[in-house]
Chain A
């Protein structure tokens, strides 16, 4: 009897001891996606949730983190910080430990703060927040915290690259700045003025405008102002419907200026640009499908076939690479261990090597300046939104060139 009991106990103990190791890299890891699926930015949100789900399938199928299955659970935040915090409470109750968000730095700032507070008050139920597109620089400087990881290059890095490119173009003489009236838009305006003054003091900023976020349907009054100011170049951080409608209004009014944008590759803008935007629009980004270090054709075409949509949020690929490598390194899916493992981690993504810098949790990666050109099968192979036009690289900066210093002094929790 005792021998049987002893054997049973030994068996049970070994099962219990083995489970963490056995299940550490298996089971399903749910990732909550918090972004708008309604309102003016809904099409953008739909594209991005599809990109995350596609990348999750890829990571699961190709076993990037062993037997771990990734599942993306969407939450519609209607672009509102308050709704996002309500969603966060629901996410906590459902036991999901990873969240991703990107549309709107206002939301990102609120989420970053809320996650830090939650983690401090609920040890053992920590949440890790991957920010894949909200690029207000304060998120990795004054407001940095250990649980927030920025996958996109921040606004200052993008403006540094953009203005370096613009410095070499003599046809730029009068610049107009138009941005959305919130933290990110303000940072774009500030950086543009500062960096232009440094690199091209002869360029005149003839006007600045801030309009409400995701509200304006008709940009004709703003276009009229731009024309009246005589600008030949427009710098804008506008994204989603705000950029698409601005470009549409400019096209309708016959505005002949060049656009230097952050997000002309995102949903809505390509259709608004069409043929009229050829050679007139440039964007700064961390990747585009026509200049991929790793062959992106199967991914881009697979996405196109499955959703009839464009894959451009490559941060989803980088995000899963980072998570998977970190999970393998930490031999666990526990968020705290994964967070520590991600610090300083270097992974291979579609744009080359990406390093998650430990000081401020800002991903260091290459920066591309590209221009909108007709598809020619050679330098421009993939078009966007079936317009027949796509992106061609004009300049590429290695990650160490675009890198910016940081003022982040984050408090780290006790290592586990």
Chain B
């Protein structure tokens, strides 16, 4: 029971972090049709900027660094995203979707290298602030870290804020319209390039915020983008391209799936044995039957991606495929 509750909490907190990332990606994709390969790179830049800002500010005003970075770093990443859109993506936009995708792909390479040039190849000591370090509550005998609780709080607040913006503000209405009918929005005369820039900046700011929150919980080092990059694509595709609610459900699903799978040592050989079959090392395909779920855990999200794309390309709640 303890294992179940603890894994549930961990899975949800990891899933919410994935959602912070996937929401920005979904927004950018829905608005502009661009699958931003460099999204995870902005996540990484957010973490590094938060580290740098909090280190500098802690030297001047001890204890405030992290909180100020929490506000400044996402804004900086958003500004960076807007610049990238204005001077890079916009130029490539006229040639179609494939060059845009390739541009963001190349950008992801460059950002990783820039980060290594500025901060080096080793992990940087971006730490959880002491106020948030420690246990929030105890489940049976396991402590639930306060920082995880904070992560979940920020993610939920952010989701609520996006929902408010999309449904209650004018900009939000335009974005909602563009989610379903981008060409019509253009035809209606909105300053589409500016909306694009703001959307891209906003999406990358969300990724930056995810970086500020996630960088100190998980290690801040140059390969952090590659690790999370592929998973958020799985989330966006499984949830449905263009659907925020779908992205939310998919991120929770994948977060829980990955957390629980590691804890379960069940293998098909066990099932076959209970059905009466003799399974031993000499059985053909023994290496497949003896695979435990915990060993298969890394593969599960991609298996899900492939299955969804084959069987239901729209995703769980998607409105369109392309």
User: Once the chains bind, are B121 and A227 in contact (CB under 8 Å)?
Assistant: no
User: Once the chains bind, are B123 and A254 in contact (CB under 8 Å)?
Assistant: no
List A contacts of B294 (CB < 8 A): 209
- Size class of the contact patch on chain A: 20 to 34
List A contacts of B217 (CB < 8 A): 218
Q: How far is the CB of A324 from chain B (nearest CB, A)?
A: 31
User: Once the chains bind, are B3 and A40 in contact (CB under 8 Å)?
Assistant: no
Q: How far is the CB of B294 from chain A (nearest CB, A)?
A: 7
Q: Is B298 an interface residue (CB 8 A)?
A: yes
User: Once the chains bind, are A40 and B123 in contact (CB under 8 Å)?
Assistant: yes
**A241 and chain B: residue at smallest CB distance:** B219
**How does the 8 Å CB contact mask read for B113-147 relative to A, with 1 for contact and 0 for none?**
00010000111000000000001001001110100
List A contacts of B145 (CB < 8 A): 252-253
Partner of B121, one of A37, A210, A218, A223: A37
**How does the 8 Å CB contact mask read for A36-53 relative to B, with 1 for contact and 0 for none?**
011110110010000000
User: Once the chains bind, are B142 and A42 in contact (CB under 8 Å)?
Assistant: no
A254-B143 contact given A209-B294, A217-B218, A224-B6, CB 8 Å threshold = yes
| B93-101, B221-229, B312-320 - interface stretch | B221-229
Most B CB contacts (10 A, CB to CB) among A212, A228, A255 go to A228
Please measure, in the bound complex, the distance between the C-alpha atom of A277 and the C-alpha atom of B319, giving whole angstroms. 53
Q: How far is the CB of B221 from chain A (nearest CB, A)?
A: 7
Q: Is B204 an interface residue (CB 8 A)?
A: no
List B contacts of A218 (CB < 8 A): 10, 14, 217-218
User: Once the chains bind, are A46 and B3 in contact (CB under 8 Å)?
Assistant: no
Q: Is A225 an interface residue (CB 8 A)?
A: yes
Q: Is A221 an interface residue (CB 8 A)?
A: yes
Q: Is B55 an interface residue (CB 8 A)?
A: no
User: Once the chains bind, are A43 and B122 in contact (CB under 8 Å)?
Assistant: yes
Q: Is B2 an interface residue (CB 8 A)?
A: yes
Q: Which of A208-244 contact B (CB under 8 A)?
A: 209-210, 212, 215, 217-218, 220-225, 227-228, 241
Q: Is B54 an interface residue (CB 8 A)?
A: no
User: Once the chains bind, are A245 and B219 in contact (CB under 8 Å)?
Assistant: yes
User: Once the chains bind, are B142 and A253 in contact (CB under 8 Å)?
Assistant: yes
Q: How far is the CB of A83 from chain B (nearest CB, A)?
A: 14
Q: How far is the CB of B213 from chain A (nearest CB, A)?
A: 14
Q: How far is the CB of B118 from chain A (nearest CB, A)?
A: 14
User: Once the chains bind, are B219 and A253 in contact (CB under 8 Å)?
Assistant: no
**How does the 8 Å CB contact mask read for B145-168 relative to A, with 1 for contact and 0 for none?**
100000000000000000000000
Please measure, in the bound complex, the distance between the C-alpha atom of A39 and the C-alpha atom of B265, giving whole angstroms. 29
A227-B2 contact given A46-B122, A209-B294, A254-B142, CB 8 Å threshold = yes
List A contacts of B3 (CB < 8 A): 224-225, 227-228
**A217 and chain B: residue at smallest CB distance:** B218
Q: How far is the CB of B84 from chain A (nearest CB, A)?
A: 25
List B contacts of A43 (CB < 8 A): 122-123
User: Once the chains bind, are B10 and A252 in contact (CB under 8 Å)?
Assistant: no
A212-B221 contact given A227-B2, A254-B142, CB 8 Å threshold = no
User: Once the chains bind, are B262 and A212 in contact (CB under 8 Å)?
Assistant: no
List A contacts of B219 (CB < 8 A): 40, 217, 241, 245
Q: How far is the CB of A138 from chain B (nearest CB, A)?
A: 20
User: Once the chains bind, are A224 and B122 in contact (CB under 8 Å)?
Assistant: no
User: Once the chains bind, are B121 and A228 in contact (CB under 8 Å)?
Assistant: no
User: Once the chains bind, are A221 and B7 in contact (CB under 8 Å)?
Assistant: yes
**A228 and chain B: residue at smallest CB distance:** B3
Partner of B221, one of A37, A40, A210, A223: A40
**A-B CB proximity, top 9 nearest:** A38-B121, A42-B122, A228-B3, A221-B262, A217-B218, A254-B143, A224-B6, A253-B142, A43-B122
What are some 26 contacts across the A-B interface (CB < 8 A)? A38-B116, A40-B123, A40-B221, A42-B122, A42-B123, A42-B221, A212-B298, A215-B227, A218-B217, A218-B218, A220-B10, A220-B259, A221-B7, A221-B259, A221-B262, A221-B263, A222-B262, A224-B142, A224-B263, A227-B141, A227-B142, A228-B3, A253-B143, A253-B145, A254-B135, A254-B141
Query: What 6 additional pairs, Cβ within 8 angstroms, besides A220-B10, A245-B219?
Result: A37-B121, A209-B294, A218-B14, A220-B6, A221-B7, A221-B262
Q: Which residues of B contact A (CB under 8 A)?
A: 2-3, 6-7, 10, 14, 116, 121-123, 135, 138, 141-143, 145, 217-219, 221-224, 227, 259-260, 262-263, 265, 294-295, 298
Q: Which residues of A contact B (CB under 8 A)?
A: 37-40, 42-43, 46, 76, 207, 209-210, 212, 215, 217-218, 220-225, 227-228, 241, 245, 252-255
